[in-house]
Structure 1
Amino acid sequence: MTMTSANKKIILLSVTAVLLILIVAAIAVIYLNEMNKDVVAVEINFLPEDSVIDIYNPAELVGAVDYVFVGNVDELIGTNYRPVAVIDGMGWSETIEDPFTNYTVTVLDNIKGDLVLNQQVSVLKDGGLSRDGKTLTLYVNDSLPEPGSIYVFYIYAQPDGKLLASGSQSTQKIQTTDVSDLSQIQADPVYLKAVNGFENQIVQNRTYYVGPIGN
């Protein structure tokens, strides 16, 4: 029996979905190991990407954030939780906790903004594990940064100076892990895409904030 193009597409999408789930599950195990927690069965809670910009357009993505920089993820510190009141379909109100994963990151190069180079900053990544370690919340197509890896960070500075990476395109991995070879980092396609986005950025109608410059 000849396989139709529609069947091939369905199979490809199914395989892609399975691979994504396996990758996210592996990241959850890495997270638990970093926090010295027992590995348990993890339920994945995918959040829909709800953005006023096209996050896959580098010019819009760079223009929307306060900072774009290259950083080495030094350590996973833990998870912060923000209480959020929600109302279900029956009208019952409950409070859930949104997780934010906390990292220390060494700034290697600035693309947008002026953070102090070769100095650690604290970065919050929107998403992470629940308090009981049973649910991993992530945006669709997103993943948590891995300690020991280098990323381009797209950061929203908060009014209190905290640095927040929010959205599936907010942390994009550089292939090299050599923090001493800046030329190799700057030749990476992920880096070049961010630079191109900065040179053509589309500034958004929002209030921009300043992070921990000089700290």
Structure 2
Amino acid sequence: MPEVIFPGPEGRLEGRYHPQPEKDAPIALILHPHPQYGGTMNNQVTYHLHYAFKDLGFTVLRFNFRGVGRSQGEFDQGVGELSDAAAALDYLQALNPNSKGCWVAGFSFGAWIGMQLLMRRPEISGFVSVAPPANMYDFSFLAPCPSSGLIINGEADRIVPMVEVEKLSTKLKAQKGITITHTTVPDANHFFEKGMEEMIDIVKGYVHARLIEGGR
């Protein structure tokens, strides 16, 4: 997978890019967990999400937020990181102007950033939100949530309790015009040290079904 460096709001951003041979392949942007708690684009959940979308025929980009790895800048409490994500999506779209669909997937902090990006970019037609930190961040900006998507978390998550994710899911499910699918993985903790394969299989099954339905 080629390493890429592309311009971000505070300097260069480092990423990993996996193109498909089909010029109209759908695109997916993958967002990693909290930079100040060891989160990088090589986090295992982020890494496996990347390859899940690749296996489904997506052209995929994951990258390091500012101040992580070779990405320039400093942590910016999510504000700058959202700008980084927007720059990454711009870069991905510039490389793939004929893509027939656009998805965003994020894990933990990355899920929060991804959902904010969803609100700003109407071309995003689907999302995967893994262990969204509903107990740490305000998700009230999803009013309404513009796209259907999957929320998935571990039943044994002690960092983001299951009840908090259920509250977020229930709130989003009440909105009209979209369909929110919420699934939990038994015995899985926040980092899916158990249940990683099951979680990825659920993601693949969900995204594949959406593609078959034409929900690109």
| TM-score interval, smaller chain | under 0.3
Question: Which of the pair has the greater relative contact order for Cα pairs under 8 Å at 6+ separation?
Answer: 1
- Quick check: which one's strand share is greater? 1
- Quick check: which one's helix share is greater? 2
Bigger Rg, which one: 1
